[in-house]
Structure 1
């Protein structure tokens, strides 16, 4: 199972750090950059004023490789000039469940539209929560029209030398579409209504469930 480092930019930051050097890190399988959409795409949820300035996802095949990349004075420190991001990002390492994966576009760099969701938690019984979510809610999500990717993430413990504060969401989700219009159509579909009904059957949990629509860049990020 892959693991993913989320680096979540604080809301309102004026610019991104130079993230192109991250692409040469040993063990890094893929790197995604998400930036918030300016337009509202979800008819049920207002455009968030506190959307993160960006979200970076760094995927590794092994936890050991991720821990090596995040060690004190390690490659992520050096690539991002770590003192500059210490107060601008939070970090969280999570296990990746890739439930829907389509072949990526053939071009070296391309964009899609992503809906990132976090369940901050905690759940009253996380095992019961996750079993229900994977058995009932995730299959509904997988039938969203024009869906390109569906991933569900759950938190894991690991070492990190990055000085960014740690986030502690109990679960995150990602659904990906070709563009904002495809995401908007999916969110207005009957499948979304089925998901909403199932939402009210989820086992008890606390915490917020922020939803953020993002423009996602895959591939060569040198221009960022």
Structure 2
């Protein structure tokens, strides 16, 4: 199972960090950069005013490789030193459950549109929560029209030397489409209505569930 480092940019940040120095990081298999889109795509949920300025997803095949890259003075810290030390990012490492094929493997840059969701939690009983989600909600989500990718992320413990605050969402999801129009059509579909009904049957939990529509740029950085 892959692991993913989420680096979540503060909402007031104005520019993307230079990610070119991450090229060649040992064990880094792929990188996705998400930037918010202004248009409203969800008829049920208004765009959040505190959307992150960007979200970086760094995928590794092994936790040990991620921990090494995120260690004190490691390649992630060296590559992104200024925005990390300036407090412009928060971090979380999560296990990846890819329920549809992963993103584009091409070396060339590819753009898609993503809906990122976080369940901040906690749940009263996380085992019951996750079992219901995987057995009932995820299968519904996987039938959204024109869906290209779908991943569910859950927390894992790890070490990190990155000088930025940690966040602790109990679960994250993403669904990916070719463009914002395809995402909007999916969110207006009957499948979404079924998902909303099931949402009200989820086991008890607390915390917010922010939803963010993002423009996503893929780059395959695998070198090993």
- Coarse TM-score class (shorter-chain normalised): over 0.9
- TM-superposed CA distance for 1:181, in Å, is 0.2
Alignment CA distance shift 1:213-1:102 (3 Å): same
The 5-angstrom pairing of residues 75-224 of structure 1 reads 75-80=75-80, 82-86=81-85, 87-101=87-101, 104=104, 106=106, 108-219=108-219
Q: 1:17-36 to 2 correspondence within 5 Å?
A: 17-36=17-36
Tell me how far 1:84 sits from its aligned partner. 3.2
Unaligned runs of 5+ in 2: none
Bigger mean CA deviation after superposition, 132-141 or 17-26? 17-26
Contact 1:115 1:174 in 2 (8 A): yes
Q: Distance in 2 between matches of 1:102 and 1:162?
A: 26
CA distance in 2, matches of 1:110, 1:37: 16
* Contact kept in structure 1, 2:120 and 2:206, CA below 8 Å: yes
Q: Matched residue pairs, number?
A: 220
CA–CA distance in 1 between the matches of 2:91 and 2:53? 14
CA distance in 1, matches of 2:174, 2:110: 17
Distance 1:52 1:46, change over 3 A: same
Name the SS for the 1:191 alignment partner: helix
Q: Deviations over 1:74-121 (max 9, x none)?
A: 1111111x2432300000000000001167275711100000000000
TM-superposed CA distance for 1:148, in Å, is 0.3
**Distance in 2, Cα, partners of 1:187 & 1:68:** 39
RMSD: 1.4
8 Å contact 1:23–1:31 — kept in the other structure? no
Report the Cα distance in structure 1 between the residues aligned to 2:59 and 2:177, rounded to whole angstroms: 19
Distance (whole Å) between structure 2 residues aligned to residue 156 and residue 181 of structure 1: 34
Question: What is the distance in 2 between the residues matched to 1:79 and 1:139?
Answer: 38
Runs of 4+ aligned structure 1 residues displaced above 4 Å come to: none
What's the CA shift string for 1:1-44, capped at 9, x where partnerless? 00000000000211111111112200001000000001110011
* Change in CA separation of 1:60 and 1:68 when aligned onto 2, cut-off 3 Å: same
| 1:51 counterpart residue number | 51
Q: CA deviation at 1:132?
A: 0.3
